[in-house]
Amino acid sequence: MADQHLSTTVAGQTGTYTRDVTGSIVARTSTSDPFASLRYTAGAVLDGSGAVLQRTLSLPGGVGVSLEADDSQRWNYPNLHGDNIVQADGAGARIGVRAAYDPFGQPVNRATGDIGTETADDAVADTTPGQADQAWVGGHAKLYEHLGSIATIEMGARQYVAALGRFLEVDPVEGGVSNSYDYPADPINMFDLSGQRACGKSDCGAYGGHAAKPVCGVRSCVPYRFGAPPRPPYAGKPNGGSVTSGFFCNGFAVGKVAAAQCNKAPAPRITSTELGVEVCGLVCGDVGVLWDTKGDPHPVVGVAAGPEAGWQLHLGAATRKSSGMAWGASCALVYVVGGYVEGGFSTSDASAYGGGGIAIGGEIGCSYQASYMF
């Protein structure tokens, strides 16, 4: 058993869910709902007989457009937190009123300011058929059940009750939040989209802050093996950070591969020993090798031009974040044994680099240079 929520009954109202092997909801049945049976597939909602009721497309910025069975459209607009707050028709006219939520996700009745009433709980955009919609954190594909007096959010591994700011089940990950039932105490800047572990805007792919768009095109928290670093070919993909805990918050796509694809190992900072030979007149040729902190060699080839003459064998340290093309300048004053300095800008990762060391030979002057490190 996956130990996941399958049904809720409150005051005679029952909502029942069918999940796939990843835990995602693929079907919902309910009592006293105009749609007694619904099925959820990739980008579509079907009725019990398999007829398509709605197709949904995700657009840049988190906007979603729902194409209804009657050929009408519903455009859903989230705020920076990922909450669906405004809905419009195909002509751009607003449908209903702007939704509002308290910090922990309770819908607010805009007419009265009430929270916690059935009227307030229903004051959300009608994003999907039936009485289960994507409302607070709905931009992260979290289903809000508001059948009758039920008001819970299917938050991954657990049900979340916004009225309490608590989950209904024990946290399956010890230490994932401050206690076994708690939602993060700062619900504006922190999330628990998996129901297992708190994460911030940067690593949960939330809109706003320094994660202005979904990370790797996906959003929410997915499990990943504890302490596992990314492995090729996934290491180095855009956006993310090294995995330091049991979960990597970049989900919606489910599983270890999705987490690794979104994960980026910190770029290896190559602070290393350099050994090379430079021969100069007014135009210089430069060949050498850098050894990174792992001991791997990186050949360097380059050319330079400037008022510099002589030759040198140089041994020193250079710092570059990654391989690739770079340009810069170096100066040397060498007679048998002396020092040299160099610095520049790496175009491969938009970072400055610098170095220096001891040179053996005879060289004087400065040069402008371009080099490529493999």
Which pTM value belongs to this model? 0.55
pLDDT of residue 1: 44
Could you tell me whether strands 44-47 and 37-41 are parallel, antiparallel, or unpaired per DSSP bridges? antiparallel
* Domain-ending residue, one of 167, 192, 211: 167
Q: Are residues 32 and 142 in the same domain?
A: yes
pLDDT tens track, the chain, 374 positions: 467 888 888 888 888 999 888 788 899 998 877 788 999 987 899 998 889 999 998 887 789 999 999 999 999 999 988 999 999 999 999 999 899 999 999 999 999 999 999 999 999 999 999 899 999 999 888 999 999 899 999 998 899 999 999 999 998 887 778 888 999 988 988 899 888 888 876 666 433 222 323 333 333 333 333 333 333 333 333 333 333 222 333 332 233 333 333 444 444 455 555 556 666 666 777 777 776 666 677 777 777 776 666 666 666 666 776 667 777 777 777 666 776 677 777 776 667 777 777 777 777 777 777 777 77
Q: Are residues 19 and 150 in the same domain?
A: yes
Q: Name, in order, each residue with C-beta under 8 angstroms of 21's C-beta and a sequence gap of 6 or more.
A: none
Q: Is residue 174 part of a domain?
A: no
**Whole-number Å distance between alpha carbons of 184 and 207:** 18
- 135 burial level (CB within 10 Å; 0-12, 13-18, 19+): buried
Q: Name, in order, each residue with C-beta under 8 angstroms of 14's C-beta and a sequence gap of 6 or more.
A: 7, 8, 30, 31
pLDDT of residue 364: 74
pLDDT of residue 160: 95
pLDDT of residue 243: 30
pLDDT of residue 324: 72
Check: CB of residue 130 under 8 Å from CB of residue 28: yes
pLDDT of residue 178: 81
Q: Are residues 159 and 187 in the same domain?
A: no
Q: Is residue 2 part of a domain?
A: no
Instruction: Look up residue 141 and give its two tokens.
Output: 């594909």
Q: Is residue 41 part of a domain?
A: yes
Check: CB of residue 248 under 8 Å from CB of residue 16: no
Q: Are residues 98 and 138 in the same domain?
A: yes
Q: Is 138 helix (H, G, I), strand (E, B) or coil?
A: helix
State whether the Cα torsion 46-50-53-58 is positive or negative: positive
State whether the Cα torsion 10-193-80-86 is positive or negative: negative
Q: Are residues 254 and 316 in the same domain?
A: no
Q: Are residues 288 and 246 in the same domain?
A: no
Q: Are residues 277 and 316 in the same domain?
A: yes
pLDDT of residue 223: 34
Domain coverage including residue 127: 7-167
* Domain-ending residue, one of 266, 284, 311: 266
| Direct distance between the N- and C-terminal alpha carbons of the chain, in angstroms, rounded to an integer | 50
Could you tell me whether strands 152-155 and 158-161 are parallel, antiparallel, or unpaired per DSSP bridges? antiparallel
Check: CB of residue 82 under 8 Å from CB of residue 61: no
Q: Are residues 39 and 156 in the same domain?
A: yes
pLDDT of residue 278: 64
Q: Are residues 40 and 163 in the same domain?
A: yes
**Whole-number Å distance between alpha carbons of 220 and 207:** 11
Q: Name, in order, each residue with C-beta under 8 angstroms of 200's C-beta and a sequence gap of 6 or more.
A: 189, 190, 191, 206, 249
